[in-house]
Amino acid sequence: MSERSGGERTGFAVVGTDTGVGKTVVTAGLVGWLRDEGVDARAIKPVQTGFPTDDDATFVREVCGTDDASTCGKRLQPALAPRIAAAEAGVELSYGAIRRECERALAASEVGVLEGIGGVRVPLTEAHDVLDLVADLGLDAVVVACADLGTLNHTALTVEALAQRGVATHAVVLNQYTGESTAERTNPAAIERMTGVPAHTLSPLDLETPTNAVRGVRGQLPAAVLPVET
């Protein structure tokens, strides 16, 4: 996890094995959990694509009930990887600028929670991807993955890619878990054996009331899922 010069922890990353696996829900739940404990936690979205249909920072604010709960960098309309969305929109994305903005947001928060975009190898710019940003910021990661068939391969490859860049995976969250299939029921233990990382399950949440994200995440996941102490 990132540290200030005095050794004070400043954050971690929530990354996904793919797009649509539930990173934003888990991010919002963890940020709300920390804020409920009196921690000045803030979600940091480096780039938002698919805007305004997709607006992860606003969702976190709704969940936590305050604008202070999230910040977002560049917003782009095309629902594509940031590098491609920027090219389609005629906008130039600078990796240096993205990194500096994230560093400022981390430094301004007691705990900053960087939310990834899609999977970890999604390109941010021509030469850098989400994995580069997490590694360069010195953050540990919580990996969010789907709970059902196919997740073993995706999750193991994601944890391996993070490890190759020196990023420690603190926990895996298997989202939308129902336990209805053999794959779902056996995946948590299989992932722990394959990766050596604790795997936790999160059942579907009723998000018509956004604050249910905090209640659900806090109610279903152990405190050990947080890479910081509360």
Q: Flag whether pLDDT at 7 surpasses 90.
A: no
As annotated, the binding site for substrate includes 49
Better-scored residue on pLDDT, 173 or 229: 173
Determine whether 16 is exposed, middle or buried from the number of CB atoms within 10 Å of its CB (0-12, 13-18, 19+): buried
- Element holding 13 (H helix, E strand): strand 9-16
Residue 82 belongs to domain with CATH number: 3.40.50.300
The helix/strand/coil state of 16 is: strand
Confidence of residue 229 (pLDDT cuts 50, 70, 90): confident
Q: Flag whether pLDDT at 8 surpasses 80.
A: no
Distance of alpha carbon 141 from alpha carbon 163, whole angstroms? 10
Answer yes or no: is 9 within a domain: yes
Answer yes or no: is 37 within a domain: yes
Q: Taking all residues of the chain, what is their mean pLDDT, rounded to a whole number?
A: 95
Q: How far is CA 221 from the centre of its chain?
A: 15
For 56-214, strand residue ranges (E) read 70-75, 111-119, 141-146, 169-175, 199-202
Q: What is the pLDDT of residue 166?
A: 98
Answer yes or no: is 230 within a domain: no
Answer yes or no: is 223 within a domain: no
As annotated, the binding site for Mg(2+) includes 24, 56, 115
In this predicted model, what pLDDT tens digit does every residue of 188-215 receive, in sequence order? 999 999 999 999 999 999 999 999 999 9
Nearest to 137 by CA among 5, 12, 7: 12
Q: Flag whether pLDDT at 6 surpasses 90.
A: no
Mean pLDDT of 151-164: 98
Contact assessment for residue 110 and residue 149, using Cβ atoms and an 8 Å cutoff: no
Q: What is the pLDDT of residue 230?
A: 76
pTM: 0.95
Answer yes or no: is 229 within a domain: no
Answer yes or no: is 187 within a domain: yes
Answer yes or no: is 227 within a domain: no
Counted domains in the chain: 1
In this predicted model, what pLDDT tens digit does every residue of 28-56 receive, in sequence order? 999 999 999 999 999 999 999 999 999 99
Q: What is the pLDDT of residue 151?
A: 98
Q: What is the pLDDT of residue 26?
A: 98
CB atoms within 10 A of CB 104: 13
Answer yes or no: is 147 within a domain: yes
Mean pLDDT of 59-85: 97
Active site (catalytic) residues: 45
Mean pLDDT of 162-187: 98
Domain residues for 31? Answer: 2-218
